[in-house]
Amino acid sequence: MDPGRLRTWREDLRKAVASAVLDFEDRYGYPPDENVVSEPDMIAAARLGAVRPAIPADLVDVYAAVGAVDLPDVGNGFFLHRASDVAHIHESRDLWHVRGRHDADVVVFASDGGGTQYALATPAGSPVYRLPPDLVLDGIYTSEDPRFDMAAPDLSTFFDRLLQAVKTFAASSTPPSL
């Protein structure tokens, strides 16, 4: 993924998040938590890059431009995990394969506040799968749940959809769906 485009995406997401929490307390009756789109952690990004070829290049590129995304107040919440956490989870093989409706080796990189995880197929780097809560045994996620599906054909599209979901939430308080 293009580094300039990723930096622009990061800044656009920051603006959308700021808009989403602008009148949050008036709408919901309590103040928002800290919603953050952080700068990259270059040491963690390098560690993630060292896990290659298991970690797709596009995901390594993302972490060279974005540290983490913590959006607990956007809909049900959305979290782009830190690069160091992605590397650790993948190396420990906590969840490395999906099967059932789909069958692929994956790397988990994000989640929402309801237990759904998002995983990128490896080593090709596409598609991005949506993994609703289900059985994980010996690092293998197994599900026939119809929500276990492709969230996006590739990482770039996934991040475009995330940005649009945050903008929609900011404009209408409609919970985002990825």
Indicate the pLDDT class of residue 178, thresholds 50, 70 and 90: confident
**pLDDT tens-digit readout, 47-89:** 998 886 789 999 999 999 999 999 999 989 999 999 999 999 8
Q: Give me the pLDDT at residue 11, please.
A: 97
**pLDDT tens-digit readout, 10-41:** 999 999 999 999 999 999 999 999 999 999 99
Q: Give me the pLDDT at residue 51, please.
A: 82
Q: Give me the pLDDT at residue 115, please.
A: 95
β pairing state of 149-152 and 128-131 = antiparallel
**pLDDT over 90 at 153, yes or no:** yes
**pLDDT over 80 at 131, yes or no:** yes
The structure's pTM equals 0.95
